[in-house]
Structure 1
Amino acid sequence: MAFALLAFATPAFAQLLPQHADPDAREILPANQVPAIRFLTTPDFPPFNFRDSNGELIGFNIDLARRICAEVDVACTIQAWPWDQAANALADSQGDALVAGLAMTPENGERFDFSSVYLALPGRFVTAADAIEGFSLPGLADKRVAVRTGSAHAQFMTRYLPEVEQVGFDSELDALEALKTGSVDAYFGDAMRAAFWLNDNLNCCGFAGDAYFRPNLFGEGLTITVPAGNDPIRHAIDWALVRLEENGALDELYLRWFPVGFY
């Protein structure tokens, strides 16, 4: 029964490339209310925002911020802050928007507003390369699946696949290495982190089956944070995200920064 429920629970929007922007946002660009966007970020979250060997800020989020400004046709600045200071800097009007993966928690929601999601974070199975083609959920019934102990992905397995034997590890890396050595049959966890590991292990393993999006378990995904009530900036960002999705720019950035796609 659990396998059947999980099969029907596969969301319709799970796709090869990210497509999350709200099309209704295309009509809400505030005219002449956004002369510039001052983006804040952090310098230590590759491949989203980090410094290269020359000290320059680069990454998916950095390119996205610049594309947003170009789409809205406004001046753009990007300033890096330490993670533990970035949110307060935004609240103190040191910038107009924070692009650094700040979680949409109730506490943060009291201080900030958020753009639409530009990158959701699904859970995915990883198996040995020779097991990908024949992968199926019913086929997991007699398999051992590695998870990070106490993770939301372990909760997902317990809820939807209780018949499957879970093998808990202290970290995603330990769980993936167990798959590589053959001590488990599959891994289930955060697809983005697994994609980073697969960059160096494609001869061994790969994603198998569908991507599973569960915002209540895995988080809402990545958004851009703005001070509460700053609707002109938020609307401009949402408008730009729709345009960037429609013209293929978001796909281009995704493929550039995530050569092993996790959707």
Structure 2
Amino acid sequence: MKRVIRFASVCAVFAASVGLAQADVLKIATEGAYPPFNYVDSDNQLHGFDVDIALALCERMQAQCTLVAQDWDGIIPALMAKKYDAVVASMIDTEERRKKISFTHHYYKTPLSVAVPKDSDISDAQTNFKGKTVGAQSSSTQSIYAEDVYGKAGANVKLYPTLDEANSDLASGRLDGVIADKFPLADWIDKAGKSCCKMLGDVNGTQADASIAVRKEDNALRERFNKALDEIVADGTYQKISSKYFAFDIYH
């Protein structure tokens, strides 16, 4: 069932003039199932790096923002259907997606990485999983890589609505490996998967930009985000947020 969770940003900044222009009232989508970047707590509140970055950008733009959790498979169609104004959900900027939507500058960079069971005979992240079963999140750059590389090499590729579901099957022994963006996969291994699984490392040549998505026609909004991004990086706000989640640089 499609999950939609809304909450008003408590740190929205209101313009000093009488009322906000319509352009200053924004609805922003994230997934809500991709820790530590975005997740929903027991009180149905959104948290995570993506959420904190979105709120910091809204504050810098003096915009009143509402954040909405949207299932990943429908996140681009719903943006194009104007159900919200932007997506801050660790979305990778790709040429294929640029045919439909536009992206801001990156707000972090990530390679793909691979996790396998602890007793696996696979020891290299550059494996092709021939004759084995590998999982990935559907409608993602990981799923594209899995199908284009592993599938063509003779692997069975199994796709999941969320990364958590793929990780669960890996932990349960139903998969021989999972390919995902490095940081959420490492976060899962560190918090829940150490007893069953291990990281093999990064997949060569896969580092990519995670950026904010907007509709193609919303160039002015994209540039507002770009300006705000530059400002929060320059004044240390970005680093303060990042250090809550990561002990290393994910921006450069």
Structure 2 length as normaliser, TM-score? 0.59
Distance 1:201 1:44 in 2: 17
Report Cα offsets for 1:177-204 as digits up to 9, x if no partner: 9xxxxxxxxxxx96423354346799xx
Q: Percent identity?
A: 23
Distance 2:203 2:105 in 1: 16
> 1:66, 1:76 within 8 Å by CA — same for their partners in 2?
yes
Query: AA paired with 2:95?
Result: P
C-alpha deviation, 1:71, in angstroms: 0.5
Task: Name 2:5's counterpart in structure 1.
Answer: none
Matched residues, number = 189
> 1:195, 1:262 within 8 Å by CA — same for their partners in 2?
no
> 2:61, 2:228 within 8 Å by CA — same for their partners in 1?
yes
Matched, 1:194 2:186: yes
Task: Name 1:146's counterpart in structure 2.
Answer: 124
Map residues 1-263 of structure 1 onto 2, 5 A cutoff: 34-122=23-111, 145-147=123-125, 149=128, 191-192=182-183, 193-194=185-186, 196-198=188-190, 217-259=205-247
Q: What do you get for the CA RMSD once the two structures are aligned?
A: 4.3
Query: AA paired with 1:218?
Result: T
Distance 1:238 1:114 in 2: 10
The 1:197/1:89 distance shift into structure 2, 3 A limit, reads same
C-alpha deviation, 1:232, in angstroms: 1.1
Report Cα offsets for 1:225-249 as digits up to 9, x if no partner: 0000211110011111111101111
The 1:262/1:145 distance shift into structure 2, 3 A limit, reads farther
RCO (CA 8 Å, sep 6+): is it higher in 1 or 2? Answer: 1
Q: Which has the larger radius of gyration?
A: 1
> 2:101, 2:213 within 8 Å by CA — same for their partners in 1?
yes
> 1:37, 1:77 within 8 Å by CA — same for their partners in 2?
yes
Distance 2:191 2:217 in 1: 41
Distance 1:191 1:107 in 2: 21
Runs of 4+ deviating beyond 2 Å: 101-107, 148-152, 193-202, 211-214, 258-263
Report Cα offsets for 1:95-140 as digits up to 9, x if no partner: 110112333333321110001111101478xxxxxxxxxxxxxxxx
C-alpha deviation, 1:54, in angstroms: 0.9
The 1:195/1:261 distance shift into structure 2, 3 A limit, reads farther
- Secondary structure at the aligned position of 1:240 is classed as helix
